Structures are given as C-alpha cells and as structure tokens.
Chain A
Amino acid sequence: GAGVSQSPRYKVTKRGQDVALRCDPISGHVSLYWYRQALGQGPEFLTYFNYEAQQDKSGLPNDRFSAERPEGSISTLTIQRTEQRDSAMYRCASSANPVAVRFRGYTFGSGTRLTVV
C-alpha cells in the first residue's frame, strides 16, 4: 500500500485475554519494525524483521510477546495473557531496506492504542 497500515486503531481487552495487532508495511519494503510507546514517553524498540526473518527480538519485554511475518509482508504482534501494564500505543514502521534507515529513517503507521482493563 501507499503507507504503513495498522489495525485495529483501538483495542480494549480484558486482563488475561490474548490480542493480535496487525501491520501492513509499504509495498516492497524489506524491513519492518515494532515499537511500543507509553503515554508521555518516546517509542521503545520491540523487534524487527528483514523479509520474513526476525533479526532482533531483544526489545520484547517477556515471553508473552511474540511477532511474526510469515510471508515477508504483513506482520502480527501477539500479546498473550495481557496485563494492565501492556496498555500503550503499539507502532509499526517500515523501511525499504535496513541500510536505508540511517539515510531516510522509517515510515510509521498510525499505531494501535491498546487498553487492558
């Protein structure tokens, strides 16, 4: 697509439920990134992919968080057994390739606002 698309825009879930957040990057972009942004804070890195390969998942806070990008395009971030502390804006971004990042930065989607009640 023309931009990075994330869905849903808003998600309210009960504590203990699993949630899946979707990211559709710019068509042809090799690299896809997930970030989490708490209220009043800057985005924090979670994980990233080149094509379908997960290159770095060091930012995932614990094993309840996982991500996949099985066909090298759309990615899903899954949070199992959600907790209130998981409430945040989850942002996806893409880049034409990993080298391009230091020259062009990322293109971000509008984010998914997750609220765990």
Chain B
Amino acid sequence: GDSVTQMEGPVTLSEEAFLTINCTYTATGYPSLFWYVQYPGEGLQLLLKATKADDKGSNKGFEATYRKETTSFHLEKGSVQVSDSAVYFCALSEGEETSGSRLTFGEGTQLTVNP
C-alpha cells in the first residue's frame, strides 16, 4: 500500500537558517504529492503541491520538487522565520481510480524557529 516517510523531528533552527525536511514515498502508480502545514492551534492547510514528476511546488518561500527516480518530495526554504514554526506533513494521493481519492500522510515534522 501507499506510505509516506518523513524525517524525524523535532527540528530546531535559528531565524534565517536553511530548512530541509525530507519526505520519501511508496506508491503503486503515479501519485500527486503535497505538503500540509499545521500552525499552533489551527487546522491543516495546504502549503504546496506537485502532480507529476519534475514538477516544483512553491508557496510562501517554500519549495519541493517531485523526484520520481528517488521517490522523494523534500521541503526546502532558504531563510526561515519565527512564524514558520509549525508541524509539516507530507502526503500523497494516487487518485480516485487507484485509492478512491484518499490522502496518505506522513507522521509530521515539528519545526521550531528561534529568533
């Protein structure tokens, strides 16, 4: 079955540091890939997505590239801010025909950015 593996947290960085959160996946077909973010006290929000190999999703300074050859979708940001402190979830969807449009999530990575 489908699965998503994220790097273990928590991750603690200083402001303006470079961020990478690793995500690898297992899927039977050609999934779409997503990063969701959960800020303290809030619900899950879609951060960015990519629907096919070599696509780059980007939003709010975050980027992730769909790498089919390494089955990865690592999240990066060049200069983090305190306001980026949150839990980040990698997820995939194989689409309605394969998995009934469900999203499969990783376990989440807690990021704390200190001033």
Query: Which residues in A have some Cβ–Cβ distance to B below 8 Å?
Result: 31, 33, 40-45, 48, 55-56, 59, 91, 93, 95, 98-99, 101-111
Hey, which chain B residues are within 8 Å of A108, CB to CB? 36, 43-45
Partner of A102, one of B43, B46, B95: B95
Interface of A is mostly: mixed
Q: Give the bracket for the number of chain B residues in contact with chain A.
A: 20 to 34
Pick from A43, A102, A107: contact of B101, CB under 8 Å: A102
The A-B contact count (CB < 8 A) is: 77
Report B80-115 CB contacts with A as 1/0, cut-off 8 Å: 000000000101011110001111111110000000
B44 touches A56 (CB 8 A): no
- The residues of B that contact A104 with a CB separation of less than 8 Å are 46, 49
A45, A103, A110: the one contacting B103 at CB < 8 Å is: A45
